[in-house]
Amino acid sequence: MLKAGMYMNKWLLKILFALMMTFCISAYALESDSKQPITIESDSGFYDDKKGLSTYAGKVIIIQGTMRLDADKVVVYLENREIKKMVATGAPVKFQQTPEAGKEDVHGNSLIAEYYPETAVLVMIQKAVVWQGGNSTASERIEYDRVSEVVKAGQEGSSSKRVHVILQPKSESKK
């Protein structure tokens, strides 16, 4: 009986270790999104090496780690063949990212989106909305820092371009 119990404990430890490794790898993958390669798919593409400019049009999909951006057109600005800025336009541009394991995805829509891979900052412009679960922020300009998960909306001194926020109360089941 003692041998069966020891065998069971070793078996449970192996399963627990495997699960822990799986969750550690998942968390690491999400934290390292900004270090992942950027892939671009589109119906057409154009690259001008001298100008450091490439343009993609038609159902453009950009993926970097867990981040996905869908647009009608994307212009990529390069310096020494390194991406400095991407400007996406669409009706609307759609954004989605898993911030970390166990958290709900962050979503966003806007007419224009500027993405700066070096700092992992996404700037959504014109009719911008960012939401996670039932919480949302809407403004004409929203900056989303993908690494620190910080949202900055609106512009100081601009009362005509107000920020609209909806925050849901904590549900009773999570207390």
Give the global pTM: 0.76
- The greatest distance separating any two alpha carbons of the chain, rounded to the nearest whole angstrom, comes to 76
pLDDT (0 to 100) of residue 91:
94
Percent of the chain topping pLDDT 70: 76
Alpha carbons within 13 angstroms on the beta-carbon side of residue 153 total 20
Q: Is the pLDDT of residue 23 over 60?
A: no
pLDDT (0 to 100) of residue 50:
92
CATH placement of domain 35-166: 2.60.450.10
**Burial tier of 108 (Cβ tally within 10 Å: 0-12, 13-18, 19+):** buried
Per residue in 57-108, pLDDT (tens digit) is 999 999 998 999 999 999 999 999 899 999 999 999 999 998 888 889 999 9
Q: Is the pLDDT of residue 28 over 60?
A: no
Cβ neighbours of residue 104 under 8 Å, at least 6 residues apart? 132, 133
